[in-house]
Amino acid sequence: MAADAPFSFMKDSSQLTVVGKDGTFDLLDIKSGQMKSMGAVLNPGGGFRFTVLWSADYSMMGSATSYREFELFQPGATDPKIIRFCVHPHWLGDGRRVIAGDNREGFVIGFDVKAMRRLGVLLPELPKGESIAIGPDGNYRGSPNCSEQVVVVALHTNGSLKTYSLNEFSETFGWQNDPTKVRLLKLGR
């Protein structure tokens, strides 16, 4: 185990999960000093690992990388599920949801690891002191002029992309925002 290897304590506090030099997740027994492979092998191109985190129920492990990804492993799995743009992740107590933020980019996301879908985003530091929370269905609520700071990029059926202000998007597609439906971490579907 390298001195700078990411690690996380297991339920039994005499065991650590560590990232080995060869790209494996290993289990270190602190009392005996013995290492045991957990079977998961990291993608060598996956970047530097900052953390190793277990869900509260220990059913899934995650590793945050320098590529702004959170790789999710179930015990014994060799291929991770990947949450992109997930920086500084933290498991919530249900073992199903992750919340993550990024001080540099100024956002916080919620993610459902079971369904592999975003649960919303919070943008607390938009220009002109505005802030907004956007649910997974696109409904939003925020400070009085938040809609002036956000755009929608739509992928059309012909493959083209077009950028719309929120007002233009509503007018073009007949979509109406419902701020009462905004939930950042609500599970559903």
Lowest mean pLDDT among 34-38, 44-48, 81-85, 117-121: 44-48
- What is the tens place of the pLDDT at every residue in 74-133? 766 667 788 877 777 888 888 888 888 866 667 888 889 888 888 989 888 888 889 999
Q: At 173, is the pLDDT very low, low, confident or very high (cuts 50, 70, 90)? A: very high
Distance between CA atoms of residues 179 and 159, nearest Å = 30
**Under a CB-based contact definition with an 8 Å cutoff, are residues 127 and 141 in contact?**
no
Domains of the chain: 7-123 (2.130.10.10), 138-175 (no CATH)
Q: In which order are the strands placed within the sheet that holds 117-123? A: 90-91, 97-102, 107-112, 117-123, 132-134, 140-142
Q: pTM for the whole thing?
A: 0.68
